[in-house]
Amino acid sequence: MSRIFGIDLGTTNSLIAVMEGDKARVIADPDTHDALLPSVVAIAPDGRVYVGKEAIALEPRLSREEQGRVSAVGFPGGEAGAVIRSVKRYMGLGGDEVAEQERRRYAFADVSGPVVRFKIGKRVYTAPQISAEILRALKLRAEKALGEKVERVVITVPAYFNDGQRQATKDAGRLAGLEVVRLVNEPTAASLAYGLNQLAEGKVAVYDLGGGTFDISILNIKGGVFEVLATNGDTHLGGDDIDQALVDWLLEGTAETLKADRHVWNSARHVAEEAKKRLSAVEETELVLELPGGVVRKTLSRAELERLAEPLVNRTLERCAMALRDAGLARGGVEAVVLVGGATRMPLVRRRVAELFGREPLCSLDPDHVVALGAAVQAGVLMGTQRDMLLLDVVPLSLGIETVGGVMERLIHRNTTIPTSVTEKFTTAVDNQTHVDIHVLQGEREMAKDCRSLARFKLGPLAPSPAGFPRIAVTFLIDANGILNVSARDERTGREHSVDVKPSYGLTDEEIERMLEEAIDLGEMDVEERLLIVARNDAHQILSALAKQLGEWGHLASAEERAAFEQASARLEAASQGTDRELISRLVEELNEMTTPFAERIMDAAIKQALEKKSIEELS
């Protein structure tokens, strides 16, 4: 069985690490000896791909030629090729979730689509495709350094990543030819790297200030089990923002046209970033930026850098205070503070973090390496070489119940860490329903018939009542052993029924893989079928309600109104037998608008009728 490697797929830099004996080590590039691979991908107009420093060299910037002239070089974007930074920010996002400033930075194929797609040259690329290039480069690096195949990996993700973002990360691994054995939360990995799993019990704060994002996580560690108590952060706050402040300071006084030029800006950012790094070790440094027609030369002190960076650092501390409050802890209520991310090398950051948490942060490990090292430790757990901790499992496929029209309603989504518990409220679909069938399902398809049936049971008897009146709470609870308990409770009567099922019993890895591939391949068709059923359900509901109202309150509608209602109802009834979802939805909306005045008269009459039966004393 091949070894499992740990990968930190970072916003700014990425790394790969492995367990050797009882120690984790980062695998450096055997040619350059660089441990960090910049998470930068350049794609030429002809489709050639460059990763890391090779990609950075192709960013639009200013370059001095042999004749001494300063000129613009690099891929400017779009048809002429592009350089993508911080692709992690786009993982799992829809086109409509891309911020306005990001749309100006890159050319996108379709900002209204369900997935972010970059338009580069004559091709279109998704975020997982670009991330896969970074993972592929790490894979090749490790194979060249160690002389063995890299096939199985653990990849770290931010604790706040949702199911879509986590799945996009796994998709990137698959595209890179890797089996993603497990996704691990970055703060958990950082804690493992410091051996904090050996704490008998305690609270740990993980302060992660990377290039493009900031995350703070409060963990509870007990008996080697990690539990996330609270997370907070800012996906658009990081070391890059400090660089931006430095660039503004460096270009102060230059022409606005120069400031807006991407070649000038990128050159200034490179100069600023290098100066920031130097000031972690020295008190003062010089910045030199060559521009067309002149040179900008300035001296920057550490004190001035800290003045520029302090508002940004204060924003991270506000997030830390919020996370502590959410975890129910005082400022001195953690036993350890772990620093992650290159920006935490700044003396200002370390000083202010120590002041906030009331203790010196752990920083003996390289903050750029700590997450990758922890991922390698987790890989060791999965290989059986590290046995002193519990690695909480995840749900391999979504779990839910069948609802009206044969639709699969998910309660626990795939990749949710267990143990977990979810409760949702449901109701009846027809009048005087005395029992409710609970059909427990597993899978990623939209329709119940396409998912795997796990269990069925009945809840009842229910007191006869109109459709939509009962309140039924359905709870899915999965324990640490993967045992699923499903319970349904009638909130009016307190009557309850439950059943235990094993959600992955009888499913091989190949079957799970097949179900996932079907969900991907048939996803669009499934969604359309689900939306059609929802539209038909809406039509049935409004037609039933109208028929009932006309039976009880028909005298409140004029003959002309009744005729119009009957014509509109007939059109909707006919449409609901077909497959034109948009037509059904439009006719439902038209009938709803048409009957609104009638419904208002019914409400007025019902209130008047209720008041007539009350005495003055009862109303006062």
Name the nearest CA neighbour of 547 among 510, 581, 595, 515. Answer: 595
Give the DSSP letter of residue 92.
Answer: T
Name the nearest CA neighbour of 281 among 305, 255, 302. Answer: 302
Catalytic residue among 186, 240, 402, 529: 186
| Contacts for 234-238: CB closer than 8 Å, 24+ residues apart | 234/315, 234/316, 234/319, 235/89, 236/89, 236/99, 236/212, 237/213, 237/312, 237/315, 237/316, 238/11, 238/12, 238/209, 238/210, 238/211, 238/212, 238/213, 238/214, 238/341, 238/343
Give the DSSP letter of residue 360.
Answer: P
- Can you name the residues that pair with 5 across neighbouring β-strands? 153
Catalytic residue status for 88:
yes
d(CA 45, CA 42): 10
d(CA 85, CA 40): 5
Q: Could you give the 3-state DSSP secondary structure of residue 94?
A: coil
Tell me if 436 sits within 8 A of 462, measured CB to CB.
yes
Catalytic residue status for 518:
no
Catalytic residue status for 612:
no
Q: Could you give the 3-state DSSP secondary structure of residue 486?
A: strand
Q: Distance of CA 510 to CAs 62, 394, 480, Å?
A: 52, 17, 23
Catalytic residue status for 208:
yes
Distance of CA 587 to the CA centre of its chain: 37
d(CA 402, CA 389): 37
Residue linked to tokens 């906030």: 356
Catalytic residue among 29, 59, 88, 240: 88
With the C-alpha atoms ordered 553, 555, 556, 559, is the resulting torsion angle positive or negative?
positive
Catalytic residue among 29, 133, 171, 208: 208
d(CA 265, CA 104): 14
Catalytic residue among 8, 402, 446, 526: 8
Known catalytic residues? 8, 88, 186, 208
